[in-house]
Each structure stands twice: as structure tokens, then as C-alpha cells.
Structure 1
Amino acid sequence: MSQSVAIVGGGISGLSAAYYLARLAPTSTKITLIEGKERVGGWIKSQRATTPSILFEGGARTLRPKGETGTILLEMIQHLKLHDELVCVPQTDASAQHRYIYYKNEINTLPSNLTSAVFKKPPVMKSVLLAGLLEPFRKSRFAKDGTTKDGKEDESVYDFMRRRFNEDTALNLMGALTHGIYAGDIKTLSLQSTFRMLYEAEKNYGSVVVGMMKGAGNTSSMRERGMAVRARAHDPDWFSKMEKMNLIGFKKGMESLPQTLLSYLKECDNVRIVTQDPVQSITQLDNESKIKTRGGEELYADHVISTIPSFSLDRLIEGKLPHLSHNPSCDVAVVNLAYDGNTRLAQDGFGFLTPHRDTNGAKIPVPGTLGVIFDSNVLKEEEARVTVMMGGADWKDAFKVGIDQVTEKEAYEKAKTVMSAFLNIQNEPKAWMVHLQKQCIPQYLVGHQSRMRQLHQALTEVYGHRLSVTGASYMGVSVPDCIKNSRMLVEELLVSGALGSQEKIVTGLGKTMTDDLKDSRRLSKGNSSVIMMA
């Protein structure tokens, strides 16, 4: 019996889910991808300035091919025949070796090895080394049975770093890192859901430092490791080479990835793509779901995969599930600036980040600045090109008013102020572009994983086999995370029989119910081929 699957959302998560379904499911499976906007790709957007013609990125500009998640990304790139379009940055490159944090009125170069950490430590690192040496001797909050002594499953990143290290390490180092990844505030974000490896290190080894020395940095599940092993088997030499890269990008811009996924899907006879028609509601029927769009179309599907932000799904299903609107999503102003040959960057590294706004290392010259990425250093361009990031958890510090009241010109002028205050560059850019990204990065607040377990249970009870979720709202905000989670969802739907015999209910949040999803589930004879195809 043929099955029908509707995927709501055409960002990287939705495109990936459709791609893996088209690639792995029986060709009789009818797949419909519904995107409310004119274009697919979500926050991944490559766009050229008109005068002169310079390629700018509005969202992610590079990807990290590290670990099992990176390997799954690379497998997609290889299967789509995009490997010849890659731009690769090796670990030895200056942009990989040199990272900066603004602290005490100057750009501090972070140590790249133990020698520089000991003998050339910048002001931002002065109290960090001693804190790291003392960390293994601090008492763990976990008992031997894995429970917490204080009865709290989770805590903020700030509380953890201050408890295990010290205030400076929390605000200055981790505060800056959190700006770079989540545009967020370490005082509100969940340690368990944002920096899981730190949580696991203390839980399993009693110490972050000891845990990292013993390999606690890899928090991938058995399923993820199995997927990576199968991927590498196709071309081990290429994967070995690529996994050693620090960063990868695409010659024609990051949007090459979603556009190639779209082209792949258009070639599949069992895939239909709907754009410019937002979903208005998702309604349960006896044995299927009805999706109604604003344009008046009604679609029926045996299973719906929602990849849109959780707060948007909450509206479509009229609040029938808990916690979908609990986490906020922050706004970020991304401003691309390109200069002529007379402008030079004094640093040769990747870029700089700013510490938490409560840092004791003097005031941030332009409040609300998250950091500046030196794009021309990464991509080896002669003329200076940067991306200024402002807002996030500090949006009100940056702009005072909401994102809908900020004009592109205002964001551009603020970005020029950032360049002058932090990097002493007063020259007028020869080209610029502003992307005002509203609610672009979900903020996993303390207790996120517990809420996701409750959401998993509610999905099971309320929707059964009809609805599953994936995307940045749930278990990872990066592009590789979104691709991996879409693949894991699709494989589990197919392997478990959730789309056919309905032997098992799959929500997309099963990983939150256990520390390690094992590959030892029983596979029906017909579904074992999915693993082989993957």
C-alpha cells in the first residue's frame, strides 16, 4: 500500500527530510514539500551585491565537517555530486589557528596550543589556566548512580562554568563562544542541550578536564556512529581527507546546497513541491491528516513531518501539544561589508567574538555586538570582506527597538561603527548588504531536554503515527545538525515500519528518551534494505 508524507517547511531540515525520503523510501511513497515563501533554503541565503558584484552570505557561510555529524553532511555532498564545488580550509590555515575575543579594549588572540597558553596568554586567559588546573579537584554535583545531588537535572551554561571553573571563564570565554554559536546568553541557555559534552564529562568522569582527556567530547549515539561508518565505506580516502578540514564552503555560495537538493527533488516523480503558499492549519482525521494552506488548497497525508519553528507549529495545531512556544528565538542583524584594496585587516584569523555583557573586562564599545567574521581571511581573498553580527540575546542593547522597526540603513551605520570601534577601520565600504534575521536562532532554555521528553510523550499520545518533528527548534541549531536529525528521523520512520505497518510510533524526539539510541532494534525483513541503501 502506498504511503503519503507531507513535509511542512522548505528550509534545510525540510529539504533534507524530503531528500532522504525520496532516496530511501519506496518509489510508491508520495512526498509533498510545502514552503510558504517563494524560495527554499530558509536562513541559508547567498546573494550578490549589484555594484560591484560580490557574493555575500546572509546566514551560514561555512560548515564544519567534524565528527559523525560532519560525516553525514559530507555523504550528502558527495551523493549530490557537489564535492567538486567545495572550498576547503585545512586545520593548518591561519583562519583555523587564530581565534580572537575582544577583552579590555583590545583584540585578544586565543592560544592555539599549550605552549602559547602558558607563555603567551592574553589578558582574557589570565585566570583561565589556573581554573583549568583546579577543575578536576572540584566536587561533582552527580552521585555515583548518575543522579544529581541537588535534584536538578539541568543548569545554565553560566552556572556550570562558574561552578566548575570561575567567573572569568564563564563570562569571557564561554560567553563569547555562546555569542558565536547561539547569539545567546549563557545565563539562560541550557548546558545539557547546548554544550552536552561538558554535561556528560562531569556526569561520567566527575570533571570536564578529565572527561575531555578520556574522550567525553564525542556524544554521538550508536546510531549516529553507525551512519558515519556506512558513509565512510563508500570512499574512505576522500572522507579521511575531508574530515581533517577545519571548514568547508562552496565556490558559488552556501545556497548551492539547498538549490542542489531542490534540483534533486524536482527530478523525482513521486515528489511534489509547493511554494508561496503557507500552511494555515494541520487537522487530525481518523487515519490521516489534513493540511490547509492560505491559498485554499487542502492536502491529505498519512504522515506529516514538521520542520518549521516550533512556535509556528504551535499556531497551526492550535496549542494541542506542550512546550512548543516555551523557547524564544533571537533576532540577529547580519551585515556584510566589502572594502577596496586600501583597507587591510590587522588580524589574519577567523574573526573575533565579544564576551558576555556582564564581563569585568571593561565595557563593550558598541553594545549588542556579537562579533565580526573575517570572511576574506577564511576564503583567501585579497580585499577585506567581513560579516558583522549584532543583536541576538543583546538585541535591545544594539538597537533599542524591535527588529521590525530597524531599517537596513540603520543596521549598516551601526556595523560601520563596530568596524571603527573594534578594528579602527573608518573607510567607507565599496559594497554592503544587510540581512535582518527575525527569530532565526532558537534559544534552548534551562530544562529543554526534559520538556522535549514531555513533548515526545504528548506527540505519541495525541498524534500517534500522524506527526513527527525535526529542525532547529529541537536538537541542534547548526546546518549539519539539521541534516543529521532529518536523516535520523527518516531512517527511523522507514526502518521501524512507522510509515507502513505502523509497528512503532516515531516522533523525531526519541533520542531525548535515552542517552543512546541503539541500532539493535528489530528490523522487519522488508525494512532492512533501508539501512543498506543508506
Structure 2
Amino acid sequence: MSSSVAVLGGGISGLSAAYYLSKTSPQTKVLLIEGSKRVGGWIRSQRVSPGFHSSTPTEPNDPNNVLFEVGPRSLRPVGPGGAAILSMSNELNLQNQTIFVSKSDPSAKNRYIYYKDQINTLPSSLSSLLLKQPPVFKSVLKSILTEPLVPASTSDDESLYSFVARRFNEHVALNLVGAITHGIYAGDAKQLSVRSTMRILYDAEKRSGSVVRGLFEKSLPLSAAEQSMVDELQDGGNITKETSVFGFKEGTETLTHQLKKYLNEQSNVTIITEKQVKKLEKKDDKMKIYADNSSVQVDHVISTLPSKNLDGLLHNPLPNLSFNPSVNVAVINFAYDNISLKFNGFGFLTPHPDSPYKLPVPGTLGVVFDSNAMHGQEKDKKLVKLTVMMGGHMWDKAFGGASVNQVDPQIVYEKAREALAAYLGLFETPKYSMVNVLPECIPQYLVGHENRLSQLHQSMAQKYGHLLSVSGASYLGVSVPDCVKNSRLLVQDLVDTGALGSREIVITGLNRVAQ
């Protein structure tokens, strides 16, 4: 007997869920509902003409124009998530569009942190760690040597800052981990959960009593489902071993474009855009979806919407969906045809704002050196592309308290120009530039996140049974590979034992947290 599933949200998580449903359960009718005009969510790639663009234009993709990324620009092929997204890319026949960046590439080896009024090159080898320590690495080596002597904590969770300051020192917590947190979450290391954002550190201490010892010991085994994703790529050579990051000649949106194309070709999949879901209600053994002036009943709903948005739709409410905030990020793209960049690396990040060395332009998260980080996207090899990221948890510091809807793109552009002048000594006028302000684009997993997810799982199972599950960046990882992996695991569980299979187990998408 065929069943029906509605997938809410057309970002990478929703597209992935629909994709895996269409492949593993072709008899299931899949309805994907997206509120905006396009699918892809925060993934957006666009070639733009010379001049200043106050938002992403909709002009045709002329290969002579420059390629700018609004959202994610490179993907890491590590672990189950990396394996899943590489397998998906290959299944979608994107091999000829894929760019692999080797681990030996300067952009993979050279990473920077702005500290003490200069850009510091992070050590990339043991010899550079011992012989060429930049100012930002002061006291780091000593803290690594003494860390195994620090007693392990019995705490269930704590902030990233608290964990690293306790096991290493405050300098490492503010200036190294604070900077890394800016790069991944645009977030505050003093607020984010170590257990949910840098699980490798948390697990190392719990397993070995020391991060340093734990990282040298064998890590926890993958689940059978995660291991199968990694095993799929074993016949594909040493791609994951040799590759630092990968991307696409026409940008990350190549992936979501191809997913949409594939789904549109499937007879059991329907994609609806510009349809706002207003309410979800349990009706007997169905879920009723009210969208604008119409409604539909389905056997199961997969919500990949931000958890806060889902919270506003449920007739029978669930706990913790609106607990975590999400941050706003301003993304400012630049391309120059008349400069040379003296740094040959991926880009630089900035320390936590509580670092004793203050930033010359407050609210700067970091700058990506795009033309170094992803070769092969431009006809003009001399173009230097940069992306400035501003705001995040420092939004008010960056833009003086102006709300995300009020900030003037011209002011954002000028702030970013000011940042490039202060950090890189770059005063030239760019040939191409584009501003995008992304509201509430990265969820912040606050301390206690995993326990709250466990409570959410229990309540969802009790109130909605086999009718509702969740995936997406609000829950178990914010990266694109995480989102693809989690949607794949969810669909696999639903088909095998959940709402679409034997119904032996209630599948919420959060079952692994509750175990």
C-alpha cells in the first residue's frame, strides 16, 4: 500500500529527504512544500556583472561574470556526512562539475587568525608548531603538554569556552576556539554547547579523561548506518583521504539545482513553491497541513523548517523548539582585477570579542580568500575574490543595533571595505561587489542542547507517534554534509522501521539523541 509524505522546507535538508525518499521508497507519494520562490535555502551561487549589487541579482549566469557565493562555498568530505554528500553528487552525475582541493594545496595548509594587530599563520605541522609559533600560539604548546594532568569533569555539558579554558587555558579558549566558533557558527564560544558543537573534544575527555590522550586513541565506532555511508566510497579511490574540501565549478547551488531537476523528473514527487504552511494538526491517523487557502492530509510529515518556525505551526505544541536563537550574518563578496593578495591560504578568522586585543573593526567574523580556496571557477585567473563575514553574535557591535531588516546594504558594504583596509591593507575599489544580509541563518546550540533534544523526542513520540519527524540545521549539525547525512538517516529509519515501514519504532529524527 502506498503512503504519502510531506516534506516541509526546500533547503538542502528538505531536498535531501525528498531525494532519499524517492530512491528508497518509490511507491511513496512525496510532496515538498517551500514557502519562497526558489529551493536551496541558504545555498545560493550567482554570477554577477561588474559594479555594486545590494542583494543577489537574478541576472542570467554569464560565464564572463564573477561567481559569488551567498552561503556555503566549500564542503568537507570527512566522515559519514562527507561520504553521503559525495555519493549523492556522484549519483546526480556531477563528477565533471566537481572541484577537489587537495590537502597539499596552500589553502588547505595555510589558515590564519587575526590577533595582536596582525594576521597570524597557524602551524600546519609539528615542526612549525615547535619552531615558528605565531603570537596567537603563545602558551598553547605548554597547555597541550599539561592538559593530560587536568582532572576530568563529571559535567553533563558546558560551554565551549568553559571546557577549553578548564582543560587548556583562557587564551586558547578566547583566541583559538573563539575564532573557530566564528568560522563555523558565527557564534559565541561562551554560550555554545561543547557537547553539541565540538563533540570530538567532549567525547575525548569522557572516554580518556583527557582531550590530548583521547584524540590519539581510537574514536567511538560509527553506527551501522553511518559506516555504510563511508563504505560506499571505499571503491572510489582515496578521494576523502587526499581531499581537504570540494566544490563545484558553478558554485554550491549546482548541487541543489541538480537535486531539484532530479526530483522534478520523478513521477512520485511534487514540488510546490511560494506556499506558506500556516498550521499542522493531527487528524485521526493523518497529519493535516493548512497552507495559505488550501489543506492536504498525509500519512507523515518531515519538517526541515527552522525549529522556531515549526513551533508556530503545531496545533499540539512541543517543548524546546524555540529555545535556541539563530544569528544574523552579513555576507559581502568582493572581486578585484588590480591587486595581489600577499596571503596564500583559505582566509582568516577573528578571536572572541572578550580577547584582550580588540578588533579594529568590531563585529568582523572573518574573511575568506575565495580565489585561493576554490580554483577553477573563473575564466580570469587574475581575479582576486574575497568574502567578508560580519555580525553573527556580534551583530550589534558590527551595525550599531540596527535590526537585520533595517540595516542599509550600502553601510554594510562600507563596513566591509573598512574591514579589508584594516586587516589586509586593501584600499582599492573592487570591480565587483555584492551584499547579502542573512537573517537567523545559523542556529546556536546553547548549553544543554542534547538534553533538550531528548525531551523533544519523547514529547514528539508521545503526541504525534508515527506522524511527524524532523531534520535540518536546528537539531544535529549545521553544515551541509550534516544536513544531508541526517536526512538520509531519517529516511532510512522511516522506511525500514518507522512510519513508512513496519511501524515497530516511532521515528522522530532524534532517536539517536534519546538512546
TM range (shorter): over 0.9
Match of 2:54 in 1: none
- What aligned pairs does 1:235-314 form with structure 2 within 5 A after superposition? 236=235, 238-294=236-292, 296-314=293-311
2:42 is aligned to 43
Aligned to 1:524: none
What is the aligned partner in structure 2 of residue 356 from structure 1?
352
CA distance in 2, matches of 1:103, 1:213: 29
SS in 2 for 1:453: helix
TM-score w.r.t. length of structure 2: 0.95
Runs of 5+ consecutive residues of structure 2 not aligned to the other structure: 52-64, 376-380
- What letter matches 1:368 in structure 2? G
Q: List per-residue Cα deviations over 1:413-466 (Å, max 9, x = no partner).
A: 111000000000000111101110000000000000000000000000000010
For residue 266 of structure 1, what is the amino acid of its counterpart?
N
Q: CA deviation at 1:126?
A: 1.1
Aligned to 1:124: 136
Q: Which amino acid aligns with 1:71?
A: A
Q: Which residues in structure 2 correspond to 1:168-187 (within 5 Å)?
A: 168-187=171-190
Q: SS state of the match for residue 464, structure 1? A: helix
Pair 415,76 (structure 1): closer, same or farther in 2 beyond 3 Å: same
Q: Which residue does the alignment assign to 1:324?
A: 321
Q: Which amino acid is 2:20 matched to?
A: Y
1:319 Cα deviation after fit: 6.4
Counterpart secondary structure, 1:462 = helix
Q: In terms of mean alpha carbon deviation, does 441-450 or 48-57 score higher? A: 48-57
Q: CA deviation at 1:223?
A: 2.4
> 1:204 maps to what in 2?
207
Q: Which residue does the alignment assign to 1:423?
A: 424
* One-letter identity of the residue aligned with 2:359: I
Aligned to 1:24: 24
8 Å CA contact retained: 2:496, 2:502: no
Measured against aligned partners, the alpha-carbon deviations of 1:164-221 in whole angstroms (never above 9, x if no partner) come to 00000000000000000000000000000000010000000000000011133x6743
Match of 2:363 among 339, 344, 368: 368
State, as a whole percentage, how many aligned pairs show the same letter: 51
Find the residue that maps to 2:457 and give its secondary structure.
Answer: helix
Partner of 1:334: 331
CA offsets 1:65-100 (integer angstroms, 9 cap, x no match): 112221111110111111111011100000000000
Whether 1:393 aligns to 2:388 is no
Say if 1:319 and 1:121 are closer, same or farther in 2 by CA, change over 3 A: farther
The CA distance in 1 between the partners of 2:494 and 2:262, in whole Å, is: 21
Distance 2:112 2:498 in 1: 49
Q: Which residue of 2 aligns with 1:157?
A: 160
Alignment of 1:74-223 (within 5 A): 74-141=86-153, 148=154, 152-216=155-219, 220-223=222-225
Structure 2 distance, partners of 1:195, 1:440, is: 19
1:370 is paired with a residue whose SS is strand
SS in 1 for 2:466: coil
What secondary structure sits across from 1:276 in the alignment? coil
- Bigger Cα displacement from structure 2, 316-325 vs 412-421: 316-325
**CA contact 1:339–1:385 (8 Å) conserved in 2:** yes
Residues in 1 aligned to 2:317 and 2:464: alpha-carbon distance in whole angstroms: 10
Asked if 2 retains the 8 angstrom alpha-carbon contact of 1:3 and 1:500, the reply is no
1:64 corresponding residue in structure 2: 76
State the alpha-carbon separation in 1 of the partners of residues 305 and 128 from structure 2: 44
Partner of 2:226: 224
Distance 2:316 2:304 in 1: 17
Is structure 2 residue 396 aligned with structure 1 residue 384? no
Where 1:92 maps in the other structure, the secondary structure is coil
Structure 1 Cα separation of the partners of residues 382 and 253 of structure 2: 23
CA change 1:479–1:219 in 2 (3 A) is farther
Secondary structure of the residue that 1:316 maps to in structure 2?
A: coil
| Number of residues of Structure 1 aligned to a counterpart in Structure 2 | 496
Matched, 1:55 2:72: no
SS of residue matched to 2:84 = helix
How far does the alpha carbon of each residue in 1:352-375 deviate from its partner, in whole angstroms, 9 at most, with x for none? 000000112x21000000000000
Mark the CA change 1:303 to 1:447 in structure 2 (over 3 Å): closer, same or farther.
Answer: same
One-letter identity of the residue aligned with 1:77: S
| TM-score normalised by L of structure 1 | 0.91
